[in-house]
A and B are shown apart, each in its own frame.
Chain A
Amino acid sequence: MTRFFAWGTFLLGCLFFALPLIGMTEFSLKMRRGEYSFDAYRRVFEDQRFWDTFSYSLILAAATIVVGVLLVVPTAYWVRLKLPQARPVIEFITLLPLVIPAIVIVFGYIRLYNTSSFLPLTGSALGTDILLTMGYTTLALPYMYRSVDTGLRTIDVATLTEAAQSLGAGWITILSRIILPNVMVAVLSGAFLTLAIVLGEFTMAALLNRPAFGPFMQLLGANRAYEPPALAVIAFAITWGCMGLMQLVTRFSKHERAKA
């Protein structure tokens, strides 16, 4: 009886998740009247703006990941090693982006860093790109911090540090040669999640007027019929790819550890 209900619930849920995926795939193939074709995809790939915005978002994602790692790894390490009393505060701050909507944060950016402010970041394209990168870092902060902090929990930070120090290593060496490799899996899973978030992000990029992938998709959606579902399929594939890589990294590391 329990099993019957369990299967029923599960299958109904699966149906709910499968239908939109089937729907968008089917629709994206219907561009040519009367037969299935990849015309919509060809159109998307022929569009120069697709490649421009996609590579722009990709570069921003890479920048976000670098900034995130440089920010989160030393901080999480330092808090574990020397400042456990700062932990609640840091954790609270890293969770704030889940509570404060992204649109509110970017609204603050626009008003705070306008051309007449102390830090006129929105005055130039590069400045805005930097601001957008910081915004994405903020959005990714909760996931990145938790991932790295959990990774640090599994290694004995204090002992590793003392051992490295007794061998004459400095802080930079300790962080880059000892700590980072040990939390690499956590960093990578945080990185792939960041990639997934940044590639599809719309609000911040749109409001800062940057040519990112998210606003491009929205623009196409407002003007075309068959390309949007093709884009949705592509976006879904990218998200799936990021998550798949995340799992792969975790599984690979477990395998490595099992061998050791």
Chain B
Amino acid sequence: MPKQTGGQRLRLPLEWLGILPFVVFAVLFLILPTMKIVVGAFQTPDGGFTLQNLLDLNTPSIRSAYWTSIKLSFVTALLGCAIGFAMAAAVVFGGMPKGVRNPLVTFSGVASNFAGVPLAFAFIATLGPVGLVTVWLRTEFGINLRAMGFNLLSFWGLVITYLFFQIPLMILIIIPALDGLKREWREAAAVLGATGAQYWRMVALPILFPSLLGTFALLFANAFGAVATAFALTGPQLNIVPIKLFAQIRGDVLGNPNLGYALAFGMIVITALANFLYIWLRVRSERWLK
């Protein structure tokens, strides 16, 4: 383009003006609120710098809340990945009729968004004390879930409920990745003498590793920040971080506003760590992709 250098110099900032509305929005409603939390976590009530808020997190109750939250997110992410992967693989490679695939994808789209309050209701109606499955098992087979120690309002009850949106999310993300595995790779491995297991271990899984890892991090964050499902299922008494934070925002149950910042800051740190771990591992495992 035959443009003069003077005009060139003027054009650069003008072009950046085009994304100004977006930048303003992101700063006001995403970055500043987050910064407010981060800064608040290091402040005393009158604005001085302190590490005391973070140190105050170290109480048995808060420690156990974090630990339960991390366990819950880790277990649901892991099971969600594993089961979602198995179902996606069954549909893509299992020689199943083509008509199965599209309904599964549509349903996964629905189910991954069917979280929160109504999902809790659905599980209460199914696995709650008078739920469909609970009653059916008791009357037809004499199996008493409650007596066996199962309680929907417990850790494993929450795991089962979370899986209802975690598995579909995995399916949605991993099906395109499985489609990306070329038939020739499988065939090349086979003629070179590899068994199916060897092909998966040495070729397919390493290729899928970044997507698996990314989905795992996403599922982890998804479960870690979920409030509505747990809240509707168990009310405010379940000791996980998002519920604790919810109660703190509503009524300062910790008795220290800045401890609330620290609690929220801890959540950001953990989800950010999960994602940085993902990015780091991805860079390492994807040397073969520019």
Do A and B have CB atoms closer than 8 angstroms in the complex? yes
B86 interface residue, CB < 8 Å from A?
A: yes
Are B29 and A134 in touch, CB under 8 angstroms? Answer: yes
Cβ of A105: which chain B residues have Cβ within 8 Å of it? Answer: 29-30, 33-34
Decide yes or no: A108 and B271 within 8 Å by CB, A78-B19, A137-B29, A207-B250 being known contacts. Answer: no
Cβ of B127: which chain A residues have Cβ within 8 Å of it? Answer: 20, 23
**Docked complex: A5-22 residues within 8 A CB-CB of B:** 5-7, 9-10, 13, 16-17, 19-22
With A and B bound together, what is the CA distance between A72 and B40 in angstroms?
30
With A and B bound together, what is the CA distance between A221 and B231 in angstroms?
11
Are B29 and A6 in touch, CB under 8 angstroms? Answer: no
Cβ of B150: which chain A residues have Cβ within 8 Å of it? Answer: none
With A and B bound together, what is the CA distance between A5 and B196 in angstroms?
14
**Docked complex: B22-66 residues within 8 A CB-CB of A:** 22, 25-26, 28-37, 40
Are A138 and B19 in touch, CB under 8 angstroms? Answer: no
Are A232 and B122 in touch, CB under 8 angstroms? Answer: yes
B268 interface residue, CB < 8 Å from A?
A: yes
B267 interface residue, CB < 8 Å from A?
A: yes
How far is the CB of A21 from the nearest CB of chain B, in Å?
Answer: 7
With A and B bound together, what is the CA distance between A206 and B19 in angstroms?
32
Are B267 and A20 in touch, CB under 8 angstroms? Answer: no
Query: What residue in chain B is nearest A242 (Cβ atoms)?
Result: B113
Are B29 and A110 in touch, CB under 8 angstroms? Answer: no
Tell which of B21, B164, B218 touches A71, judged by Cβ atoms closer than 8 Å: B21
B125 interface residue, CB < 8 Å from A?
A: yes
Number of interface residues of B (CB under 8 A): 80
Number of interface residues of A (CB under 8 A): 81
Query: What residue in chain A is nearest B84 (Cβ atoms)?
Result: A13
A51 interface residue, CB < 8 Å from B?
A: no
Tell which of A10, A23, A202 touches B94, judged by Cβ atoms closer than 8 Å: A10
A186 interface residue, CB < 8 Å from B?
A: no
Q: Which of A193, A229, A246: most chain B Cβ within 10 A? A: A229
A86 interface residue, CB < 8 Å from B?
A: yes
Provide the B220-255 mask, 1 if CB < 8 A to any CB of A, else 0: 011011011001100100000010011001100000
Tell which of A10, A20, A106 touches B123, judged by Cβ atoms closer than 8 Å: A20
With A and B bound together, what is the CA distance between A202 and B132 in angstroms?
26
Are B118 and A99 in touch, CB under 8 angstroms? Answer: no
Cβ of A16: which chain B residues have Cβ within 8 Å of it? Answer: 163-164, 167
Q: Interface majority SS on B: helix, strand, loop or mixed?
A: helix
Provide the A166-206 mask, 1 if CB < 8 A to any CB of B, else 0: 00000000000000000000000000010011001111001
Cβ of B271: which chain A residues have Cβ within 8 Å of it? Answer: 99-101
Interface stretch, picked from B104-112, B174-182, B184-192, B197-205, is: B104-112
With A and B bound together, what is the CA distance between A109 and B127 in angstroms?
37
With A and B bound together, what is the CA distance between A63 and B159 in angstroms?
34
Query: What residue in chain A is nearest B123 (Cβ atoms)?
Result: A20
With A and B bound together, what is the CA distance between A137 and B121 in angstroms?
27
With A and B bound together, what is the CA distance between A7 and B87 in angstroms?
9
A217 interface residue, CB < 8 Å from B?
A: yes
Cβ of B32: which chain A residues have Cβ within 8 Å of it? Answer: 108, 112
Given contacts A99-B271, A103-B246, A244-B106, 13 further A-B contacts (CB under 8 A): A5-B94, A6-B96, A10-B90, A22-B132, A71-B22, A98-B218, A101-B227, A101-B271, A104-B37, A105-B29, A110-B249, A196-B113, A200-B113
Chain A residues proximal to chain B, CB less than 8 Å: 2-3, 5-7, 9-10, 13, 16-17, 19-24, 26-28, 70-72, 74-75, 78-79, 82-83, 86, 90, 93, 96-112, 119, 134-135, 137-138, 141, 193, 196-197, 200-203, 206-207, 214, 217-218, 221-222, 228-229, 231-232, 235-236, 239-240, 242-244, 246-247
User: Could you write out 23 A-B pairs with CB less than 8 Å apart?
Assistant: A5-B94, A9-B86, A20-B122, A20-B125, A23-B125, A26-B132, A71-B21, A79-B19, A83-B16, A99-B275, A100-B268, A104-B245, A107-B37, A111-B40, A134-B25, A135-B29, A200-B114, A221-B232, A232-B121, A236-B114, A236-B118, A239-B114, A247-B106
